[in-house]
Amino acid sequence: MAGTPRSSTARGGDLAPDEAAVRLLDEHERRVVVLKLDAVSREAPREAADEASQTGGRESRPALRALALALILLGALALADAAVTLLWQEPFSALYAKLRQDHLSGVLRKEERAPPAPTERRELARLSSERARIVLLASSLQRHAAVGAPVGRIRIPRIGISFVVVNGTKPSALESGPGIYPETVFPGAGGTTAIAGHRTTYLAPFRHIDELRAGNRIRLDMPYAHFTYVVTGSVVVPPTDVHAAVDPVGYPRLVLSACTPVFSAAKRLLVFARLRHTEPVGAGNATPLRHAAAAAGARRA
């Protein structure tokens, strides 16, 4: 029997999977001889592929479970952070600001105990008026304080806050605490003192200043004097209206400034307070000088 191989397409079409074979044409018997592949041999590669797929799946399951757990934990942390921020304040920036406040408190105590610089001592020696001494010390501190340096402490009993106040309102400065506008003067210099603070981040020092009402007291403790202000009112202005916060009004006043509403910078809330009492401390206090002068006069007599 003589035979020659012929392609399956010679009969005009592809074979079904169970007909995949080599066809030989028997020219003597005029028939086609089909040599089929063994079923086992066809299934072996398929089973090997299935086994490899199952093995790879088993190996990848722990990694997928770990990834899913990590995503769940990240989602839970994000939700917790949002809830705490909504009800209280942003916790991570609050921790940073707390550490900064603790550090600045120590620096401020050293500043309060430090004697005047030699130049200040010479100038103070010529002044017996407490008001003049306070003006001199306020202006000197404002000239020499670096941006972000601690310069005083603000206390508002009505909303239960006590924070170290820093110099300046740059973002880096306000991350440490409320900051004095550089366009205004330090308390005691005679004019407007404006202080800005966050309401949702970095300890949110001004979170509740919208609760302040006329008659509430605000105290600013500076190294040279303690100042007590009384709230007179508040107003909401566009964030671009800086003049409402910094312009002088003919008398010493304090302005607290913060974004409003909470979680938005659409507007700016300003709380106004008028100076009611000044208590000189440290180098601002001229009483020791008067006592020394009186004692010297008594000795001469």
Query: What domains does the chain contain, in order, with CATH numbers?
Result: 3-37 (no CATH), 91-288 (2.40.260.10)
**Is 85 or 240 the better-scoring residue by pLDDT?**
240
Give the contacts of 3 (CB within 8 A, at least 6 positions apart).
Answer: 24, 25, 26, 27, 33
Q: Does the pLDDT value for residue 34 go beyond 80? A: no
pLDDT per residue as tens digits for the range 115-153? 999 999 999 999 989 999 999 999 999 999 999 999 999
Kindly report the average pLDDT of the chain as a whole number. Answer: 82
Q: What is the pLDDT of residue 106?
A: 97
Whether the CA torsion 158, 159, 160, 163 is positive or negative: it is negative
Residue 267's φ and ψ, nearest 5 degrees, are -135, 175
- List, as one string, the DSSP characters of 181-216: -TTSPPTTSSSEEEEE--SSSTT-TTTTGGG--TT-
Least confident of 5-14, 23-32, 165-174, 287-296: 5-14
pLDDT per residue as tens digits for the range 232-288? 999 999 999 999 999 999 999 999 999 999 999 999 999 999 999 999 999 999 876
Give the contacts of 69 (CB within 8 A, at least 6 positions apart).
Answer: none
Please name the residue that has the structure tokens 């797929």: 53
Q: What is the pLDDT of residue 297?
A: 52
Q: Does the pLDDT value for residue 12 go beyond 50? A: no
Q: Does the pLDDT value for residue 85 go beyond 80? A: no
Alpha helices (H) in the chain, listed in sequence order: 39-87, 91-113, 118-125, 130-144, 171-174, 243-246, 287-300
What pTM did the predictor assign?
A: 0.70
Q: What is the pLDDT of residue 3?
A: 47
Do the beta carbons of residue 92 and residue 81 sit within 8 Å? yes
Q: What is the pLDDT of residue 13?
A: 46
Identify the band that residue 8 occupies on the pLDDT scale cut at 50, 70 and 90: very low
| Dist CA 272 CA 234 (whole Å) | 6
